[in-house]
Each structure stands twice: as structure tokens, then as C-alpha cells.
Amino acid sequence: MAGEILFFKGTKSCVIFLAFCLVATCLLAEAEVHNLTWEVSYQYKSLDCYKKLAIAINGETPGPTINATEGDTIIVNVKNNLLMENLAIHWHGIRQIGTPWSDGTDGVSQCGTMPGDTFVYQFVVDKAGTYMYHSHYGMQRESGLYGLIEVSVPSGTKEPFTYDGEHGVVLSDWYHSSSYEQATGLTSIPYVWIGEPQSLLINGRGKYDCANLSASVCNAANPECAPSSFTVVPGETYRFRIASLTSLSALSFQIEGHNMTVVEADGNYVEPFATENLYIYAGETYSVLVTANQSSSRNYWITTNVVSRNASTPIGQAILNYYPNQNLIPPNTTPPPGPLWNDVDARKNQSLAIEARQGYIQIPPHPDKVIVLLNTQNKVDGYTKWAINNVSHTLPETPYLIALKKNWLDVFDQTPAPESYDYENYDIYSVQNNTNATTSSSIYRLEFNSTVDVILQNANTMTANNSETHPWHLHGHDFWVLGFGDGKYDMKNNDANYKFKNPIMKNTVPLHPYGWTALRFQANNPGIWLFHCHIEAHFLLGMLVLFESGSSMVSVPPQANMGCGKTKSLMQP
């Protein structure tokens, strides 16, 4: 029953005819089913010329791009060919309406899929736009298990902009240490920070400086690390679908000599604006239009650079190839270094510039409640953590979705998660003791269909004069981006602080240093959903919360989602 509804999502008239038409006929006419088979394994890759293990899907890192049309059903049979490591894959930006068990989040929607096992994800891509997928298991994303999802508008439907061709761009940062090494340092006493990435990759290609390393370890001539190139025909306009899959880095993206017009963000249309550089945070996607209107006698640099952290990481480079020039001929110009890492105002201005496109504005309903989330770095029992309202989250061994359905009260902390902090007395500009910081698996329970405002409040870290940028991502929903501001959010004058003019909907939004970000969403997708900082290390250290709503309306997840924690008690030997 659920499956049938899924197949016809977006074509309601067809549902009416369900009893009269054969399913197959209806599918052919209305929506396609993409049945993909993926084998996930470790492979040696030289993505930035330095040879190290990466996780590959069917041999590729990043994985294959999923191309589909709005309303299509995606079935991905994920075979775990890792030797000892489990996995879970999240379909980032896909709301999983009616299919919360396919959200691919370890500890929330499923147990990890064990080596040798196959997990079948099935979901509908119900909204055109640019999305991504990536591992949501431990720090596994860091190993390269990610890729793009490109969803086109249905045939006969027009987008509010035109272009002649398109290119997919996966931006990521790349470490030479393993996810195990990183995680061990982060969870040790003394705390060992992962440091800045060795490289930035554009479609899985970067350039590490191989000087002083043997060619068997690092070979600059390896074709695997030749720069990505994007071919354009002079005079034509291209849509670049850009996703940031970084573990840590906030990025700027630029194309030498070309302006970009931003038209889409996280699957929602943006009132177009032009920019020389696109700021993009981990978990965000954008579409920009680029017209090949420069001299066609040469190629141009495409670069990406780290912002918001004073990183030593060199810029990532690719080539905009003007047809019919050879695609790998590098321009003899200096690659644009991108904006200064510490130009916070420029980044805030871009955040404020992103509005919903005229004709696509969805008016948010009035909120039923406000939750304020203070973001802090903390120490708990000597371990460095990140916490929300002084609670650093620990995921339970048994996935929440199953625990909720089975009413297992002992699986997670039943105390309600804190909805605010001591905002009158907390000084966000200084290092705070946070002596009452703790860990918990508690959740926020929201009334189904209620509308909730969430205020993300940034603060100083445990280092003086330091506040970081956190890209927050919500599963299962888009939210309205109501506003950004500096300093402490004024709880007494909510609306006055909101931007609120044609707010765009997104699924990921930055929280800027020492600032606040306000967003609103409708808890209208039955289940339990992560809301978290998309920096891999921050997530590992507890920078996440969970929103439950209407989970009683969801059926029990399939057997495939089980196998860990208390779910074993469901087995009848």
C-alpha cells in the first residue's frame, strides 16, 4: 500500500485510477523505477596523486551520479563488500516521505549493514533539484563514500531558467589519515584534532605536492589525479550542479573570468543573483548558471578554496574547457585564489542574499513553538565534545525508529531534550566553563504537523576569540531560512530579528561565527529525524539533535534495518 502510493506520488490523478489501470502501464506513463546495484569496497586510489585507501562504489570514488526525474522511484541495492566495516547511506535532501526506514542513518533509521549483506534502499525523488548521497555511519563519509543526485523536472514542466547543458560538481576535502585514525584521535584523552585536509577535490581529483615522496606513494603524473575538466561550447549557458561533501571545510567556488548566477539551493529555486564566488558549506547544494562568454581561445581555471578556517590546504583546481580546445590544457594564468578565508561579512552577505524565487515562494505558517539551540564546545569527563544546550548527543545502539515503534523505553534517555539555554546570562563571546555539560540520547518530541522555529545560537569555542562555522542539516524536511544575525539572538523580540522576506527553503544552512540562524519547519513527516552539524568530526563528538513527530503513524521498519542492539531480541531462534 505504502509502495503503491510512492509510485504515484506527484501524479495524484493516477492514484484515482489505481483500481482501473495496471501498475506497470501506469508506471510507464508516469514515473520510472531506477533499480541500481552498488558494490561498496575499499580500493587504493590516488585521488590527489597520493595513494591511499578510499571507499568506492562499483569501483568509483566519488560514486556514480544518480540521474532521475521528479516522481521516479530509486531502488539501490547496496552490497557491503567492506571486509570488517558496516555501512549506511543517507540520501541527503530526499525527504523520505513515507519511507523513513530508507533515510540511511545509523542509530536513527537503521543498524549498519554488515559485510556481505545487502541493504535495499527504496524511495521517491519527489522534488526536482540537486541532492547528494553519502555515508552516515561513524566517520565513513570521510573515506569518499558519496556522490550526486540530480533530479529533473517532469517532462512537460519547465524550470524558471534555461540552459544548454549541465555539469555535476562534487566538492570535497581529502585527508591522508584514515577515518579510524581521525576518530581515535578525536575520542582520546588528550584530544587530537584532525587538522586541515591535505587536499581539496573537484569530482574526486586534486593535486597533493608529491615532492619528497616516492612515486609509488605519490605520483603527480598519475592520470587518476589529472584535473577534472568541464567542457563548454562558446556562447552557450550551462547549469553547474554543485554539492559540497567536505568533512570539514567551508569552501568558496569560482570560475576564472566568469560570473555565476545562483538559481537553485538544496532543491529550491533561488531568486537569481550573480556572484564571482559561491560560498558553499558541507551538505549544501547549489545550481549556478554560467555562460561561456569569454574568449574561446583558451581554457579557464575553476578553483575552490577553504574559507572560515585559516587552513594551509592548497586550492582545488579544475579546468573549464572551451570547445574545441584540448580539455586538459591548463590555462597559463594564475588560478584564482578565491576570497580571503576570514572575510566573514562576504559570507554572511551571501547567506542573506539567498531568497526564494518569485513565483516559487512558499509562505511559512505561524510557529507553534520556538526551540533555541546553543552550540558549544565542551569537555565531558575530560573528553572534548560538542554540545547543544550543554548536552552532547550520543546515539543509542538501537536505532531510534525501531525503539519508538517497539516502545522500548530503555533504549534512549526519555528525559525531554532541553529547548533553551540560560540566554540571559550566557556570554557567547568568551570561553565558558560549561561545567554542567553532559551526554545524553534524549530527543525532541514535536506535535505532528506543528510548526517549529529553531534558533541556532553560536558561541565561543574553548579557545579564546574563536567561534566556528557550523553547517546544520535537517533530515526528512526542508525548512524556511528566516534569518541570520550577529551576536546573541534576542529571545524577547523574535520576529524583529527575522529576515522573513521571501524566505527560501533549504535543508542545510550555515551558522556563522558569533551569530545566530533562525529557521522554521513543519513537523509533517512521520518519523524521527536528525538535525546536525554536517562537519564529520563535530557530528562524531555529539553536535546533533533528534526531532520526533508522528512516529506512531509509521509502520515498523523492515528486518533489513535491524540486527544491532535490542533488535536482536526480536529474533526467534
Q: Which residue stretch of 148-156, 176-184, 317-325, 455-463 sits at the interface with its own copies (rule: CB under 8 A)?
A: 176-184
| Residue keyed to cell 563514500 | 145
Q: Which residue stretch of 201-209, 491-499, 528-536, 564-572 sits at the interface with its own copies (rule: CB under 8 A)?
A: 564-572
570 binds its own copies (CB under 8 A): yes
Question: How far is the CA of 455 from the CAs of 28, 356, 364, 522, in angstroms?
Answer: 45, 20, 16, 15
Among 3, 116, 165, 337, interactor with its own copies by CB under 8 A: 116
Taking phi first (over 0 means left), then psi (-120 to 50 degrees means alpha), and beta for anything else, what does residue 429 get?
A: alpha
- Whether 561 and 554 have beta carbons less than 8 Å apart is answered as no
CB of 56 to its own copies, least distance (A): 10
- Whether 565 and 545 have beta carbons less than 8 Å apart is answered as no
CB of 375 to its own copies, least distance (A): 23
SS3 string of 13-69? HHHHCCCCCCHHHHHHHHCCEEEEEEEEEEEEECCCCECEEEEEECCECCCCCEEEE
CA-based nearest residue to 90, from 449, 554, 536, 565: 536
Query: b or e along 31-41 (b: 16 or more beta carbons within 10 Å of the residue's beta carbon)?
Result: beeeeeebebe
d(CA 142, CA 146): 9
Q: Which residue stretch of 83-91, 363-371, 429-437, 511-519 sits at the interface with its own copies (rule: CB under 8 A)?
A: 83-91
Residue number, 21 or 556, with CB nearest to its own copies: 556
Residue number, 75 or 560, with CB nearest to its own copies: 560
Among 93, 104, 112, 527, interactor with its own copies by CB under 8 A: 112
Taking phi first (over 0 means left), then psi (-120 to 50 degrees means alpha), and beta for anything else, what does residue 527 get?
A: left
Among 1, 84, 211, 363, interactor with its own copies by CB under 8 A: 84
CA-based nearest residue to 264, from 47, 542, 507, 18: 507
Binding mask 362-401 for its own copies (x = CB under 8 A): ----------------------------------xx----
Q: Is the peptide bond before 190 cis (omega within 30 degrees of 0)?
A: yes
CA-based nearest residue to 399, from 139, 110, 98: 110
CB of 138 to its own copies, least distance (A): 4
Sign of CA dihedral 141, 537, 95, 357: negative
Q: Which residue stretch of 82-90, 196-204, 411-419, 487-495 sits at the interface with its own copies (rule: CB under 8 A)?
A: 82-90
Among 85, 256, 284, 355, interactor with its own copies by CB under 8 A: 85
Among 154, 185, 257, 272, interactor with its own copies by CB under 8 A: 185
551 binds its own copies (CB under 8 A): no
169 φ/ψ angles, rounded to the nearest 5 degrees? -130, 115
* Site for its own copies, residues 21 to 80, rule: CB under 8 A: 41-44, 53
Q: Which residue stretch of 173-181, 286-294, 360-368, 545-553 sits at the interface with its own copies (rule: CB under 8 A)?
A: 173-181
Residue number, 304 or 567, with CB nearest to its own copies: 567
Among 46, 61, 73, 179, interactor with its own copies by CB under 8 A: 179
Binding mask 399-428 for its own copies (x = CB under 8 A): ------x-----------------------
Three-class SS state of 389: coil
Where would I find the H helices in 189-343? none
Q: What residue ranges bind its own copies (CB under 8 A)?
A: 41-44, 53, 83-86, 111-112, 114-117, 137-140, 178-181, 183-185, 187-188, 192, 396-397, 405, 540, 556-560, 562-565, 567-573
